[in-house]
Amino acid sequence: MDGMKERADAFEHKYMIDEELRFKANAQRNRMIGLWAADRLGKTGEAADEYAKEVVRTSFQRGNEEAVIEKIVHDFQATNVAISETDLRKKMAQLLEESLERVRNA
C-alpha cells in the first residue's frame, strides 16, 4: 500500500510542477504576444511595455487565452491592422513553445 501512496504522491508532485511550468510559460507567452502586437500597432518603448502588461492583465482577469485573442483582434481592427484569428493563434502557439522551452531551461 505504501508503494501506491508514494506513486500517487509522485504523480501529484509532477502534476503540480507541470502546472507551474505551464502557468509561467503562458504568462511569458502573453507578454511576448503583447510586445509582438504592440510592435504591429506602432507602439514602442514604454507604450509597448504597457500594452504587453495590458495583455497579461487581460489573461489573468478573464482566465483564458481567448480573452487575449479577443483583445488583440479588437485592437488590430480598431487601428486597421490586418491579421486573421488563425494567424494570431499560430503566432501564439509558436510563442508558447518558445516560452515552454525557456521555462524548462531556466
Q: What was the pLDDT predicted at 11?
A: 67
User: What tens digit of pLDDT does each residue of 90-104 get?
Assistant: 999 999 999 999 998
If DSSP codes are grouped into helix, strand and coil, which group holds residue 22? Answer: helix
CA distances in angstroms from 67 to 6, 60, 63, 76, 92, listed in the order given: 39, 9, 8, 14, 13
Q: What was the pLDDT predicted at 3?
A: 77
Half-sphere exposure of 104 (CA within 13 A, CB side): 8
Topology of 2-105 in CATH?
Major Prion Protein (1.10.790)
Burial 63-97 (b: 16+ CB within 10 A, else e): eebebbbebbbebbeeeeeeeeeeebeebbeebbe
Q: What was the pLDDT predicted at 19?
A: 83
Q: What was the pLDDT predicted at 63?
A: 81
Q: What was the pLDDT predicted at 1?
A: 58
**Which residues are CB-contacts of 72 (< 8 A; sequence separation ≥ 6)?**
33, 37, 55, 83, 88
User: What tens digit of pLDDT does each residue of 5-49 get?
Assistant: 777 766 676 667 778 888 999 999 999 999 999 999 999 999 999
Q: Looking up cell 503583447, which residue turns up?
A: 34
pTM of the model as a whole: 0.84
Contact assessment for residue 88 and residue 72, using Cβ atoms and an 8 Å cutoff:
yes
